[in-house]
Chain A
Amino acid sequence: MADAVPVQDTGAAPGALPPTKRGLELIMLAFATIVVTTALVLVELNQPQGLTRSVLYDGAAYLALFSAAHIAVRYLAPYADPLILPCVALLNGLGLVVIHRLDLADETTAASVGSPPPAGNLPHQIAWTALGLGLFVAVLAGVRDHRQLARYGYTCGLVGLGALALPGLLPAALSEVNGAKIWLRFGPLTIQPGEFAKILIMIFVAAFLVTKRDLFTTAGRSVLGMELPRARDLAPLLMAWGLSLAVLALEKDLGTSLLFFGIVLVLIYVATERASWLVIGLMFFLGGAVMSDLLFRHVHRRVTAWINPFADYDGAGYQMAQSLFGLGTGGVFGTGLGAGRPDLVPEAHTDFITAAIGEELGFVGLAAVLFIYLLVVMRGMRAALTVRDTFGKLLAAGLSFAIGLEVFIVVGGVTKLIPLTGLTAPFLAYGGSSLLANYILVALLLRISHAARAPAGASGPRKPVAPLAEARTEMVQRP
């Protein structure tokens, strides 16, 4: 091949490398440690047991765990976003403090009745946090370039669907806890495969949309100034809708079904930039919502408890009503950490942890927590905007939107804006599967933001490009 004179790579860079901002991340992590340790001290001071020296060890352990994560990020994704990890660390730490606080309250209650103190939830959650951070480092180390995930799109989709469907198909003895069939039981260990399926399915949908995007942009009829897609192109969305309803019917899990449909819908919207998909999706959603209210008893019960929790105060509405009383007690500035009674709400450490925070830190504190979630979502969306490949854009948008939607569903449920669903607040609430899955999610987000912010050419090991005439014939895989 008669090649033109190649452009020489002189290496005369007009500017130095952009800053990695890892120092800022470390400072913010230290700040998060201060906040969390202060919270722990306040909790202990407000309890009859008083302050113990274990506070110091806990603070040090927390700092050590997240410093390890920080060092891993420094080596594995040096250009990753500096804000995501500290925000996540603060949320996780606050969650640990509130869970500890609820454990103390349970101990006090047990002591006053005279029964032996119950086993606390805190040790488990700390173990899950350590495990989650380990997984976080493993994902950062294993996925060196997020684009390689696109190759496993269909595998991810299949495994994700399997994980989502498995608890629904297994007998109830193996998969049912508190009426929801979303668990897998291995002896004493229970995991929620749906949390992991969320990420796998997002990878699949993003990879699918990258290759089949044209399918979704084919114009159909124009109605009211909006281009509707053709009826036959609706099939993928219809499938997602059907699957969500199946999850709702088989596993009695309102939250996962809502989350799953929302993610698919938003990814299609992001890929096509057409609002008509959102309108169609919302209509599907409304249809599905009305239908499941009429068909499924467990959904109808939640809707009734949502419309008026005080109608059945001692029964279905009890949890909701207690949560509202808690939030009302907290008011604008809260009762102070450790000075309220958040343990009066059933399941305060999982589904209703935001109610506990709202009671003890008040509207101001809960707003700060929501703001920190918003920061994580915003930085994720920013990574989606700046990353240079379509798959990365879609995946980052999906991952960060998933966090936002999950927080909306949880806090909306707790504050009686929407019916209660049974999802848990990411990083904050007690729950191993949710914590592990969300750390994987954050690792992927950091990986993409590294690719987005790294200077061109620094994002991966560069292959030496041999001149074409001298190169050997080799099998090349299509991405």
Chain B
Amino acid sequence: MPELVLQLTRAGFLLLLWLFVVAALRIVRSDLFVASGLRASLPMSRRVARAERNRTPRQLVVTAGGLAGTRISLDGRPILIGRADDSTLVLDDDYASTRHARLGFQGGDWFVEDLGSTNGTYLDRAKVTGPTRVPPGVPIRIGKTVIELRS
């Protein structure tokens, strides 16, 4: 192969290899903000913007306990919390019951109900006895775990 072609293909292939890396990094960047909840710096999509205006919580955040930092995005389906394997949020917490509590969505609000747990579910300081509306940002205590809804 002529020397010039060799030199050109040599540089070209390295460029191609790095283009792959750059393309991969762009994908990394595109979903960097989705799960972290930092949405402020990104141009909002219309759907997200509307939800923000309605003040509907879009995320469940674990703020204390073994799973602290975990987030679940809310899509209207009920959320089961407990130590059972098929729960949405599987707690690894000695003070939680197998099926401890449930969060359900109705008429634009989220409600929490206790599923007959041993140690009870607390919304802020009050024990949850029946389905109770959960305002965004108010902590729900289950055993050692604290969760809250965020918009």
A interface with B by C-beta (< 8 Å): 1, 3-18, 21, 24, 28, 31-32, 34-35, 38-39, 42, 45-46, 82-83, 86-87, 90, 147, 210, 213, 333-337, 339, 361-362, 364-365, 368-369, 371-372, 375, 378-379, 385-386, 388-390, 453, 455-457, 460, 462-463, 468, 479
Contact = CB atoms under 8 A, between A and B. Distances in A.
B58 A368 contact: no
Interface string B82-110: 00011011101000000000111111000
A456 B85 contact: no
Contacts of B118: none
Given A7-B104, A368-B14, A24 B27 contact: yes
Contacts of A335: 10
Interface in B100-127: 102-107, 111, 113-114, 116
Main SS class of interface, B: mixed
B35 A386 contact: yes
A456 B88 contact: yes
Interface in B66-91: 66-67, 69-79, 85-86, 88-90
10 contacts: A7-B106, A10-B105, A10-B107, A31-B19, A87-B24, A210-B92, A334-B14, A368-B20, A375-B25, A390-B92
Contacts of B11: 333
B23 A31 contact: yes
Interface residues of B, number: 59
B77 A13 contact: yes
A66 B118 CA distance: 50
B101 to A, nearest CB: 10
A356 B106 CA distance: 62
Contact of B105 (A14, A21, A371): A14
B30 to A, nearest CB: 9
Contacts, number: 168
3 A-B pairs with least C-beta separation = A7-B104, A13-B76, A336-B10
A4 B130 contact: yes
B75 A388 contact: no
Nearest to B70: A388
Contacts of B86: 460, 462-463
Given A7-B111, A15-B51, A18-B73, A388 B90 contact: yes
Contacts of A82: 27
B1 A14 contact: no
Contacts of B76: 10-15
Nearest to A87: B24
Interface of B: 1, 6-7, 9-11, 13-14, 16-21, 23-25, 27-28, 31, 34-35, 47, 51, 54, 56, 58, 66-67, 69-79, 85-86, 88-90, 92, 102-107, 111, 113-114, 116, 129-131
B14 A375 contact: no
Given A7-B113, A456-B74, 8 more contacts: A8-B104, A13-B75, A15-B58, A17-B75, A388-B88, A390-B90, A457-B88, A460-B86
Nearest to B86: A463
A439 B18 CA distance: 24
Contacts of A369: 17
B42 to A, nearest CB: 15
Contacts of A147: 85, 90
Contacts of A334: 10, 14
Contacts of A11: 76-77
A9 B104 contact: yes
A120 to B, nearest CB: 23
A4 B10 contact: no
B140 to A, nearest CB: 14
Contacts of B71: 386
A455 B35 CA distance: 11
A157 to B, nearest CB: 20
B27 A28 contact: yes
Contacts of A8: 104, 106
A479 B87 CA distance: 12
B79 A456 contact: yes
Nearest to B16: A35
Contact of B74 (A14, A336, A386, A453): A14
Interface centre among B1, B27, B92, B113 (most CB of A within 10 A): B27
Contacts of A365: 13-14, 17
Contacts of A361: 13-14, 17
Contacts of A339: 6, 10
A15 B75 contact: yes
A373 B54 CA distance: 43
A90 B21 CA distance: 11
Contact of A362 (B14, B66, B75, B78): B14
B130 A5 contact: yes
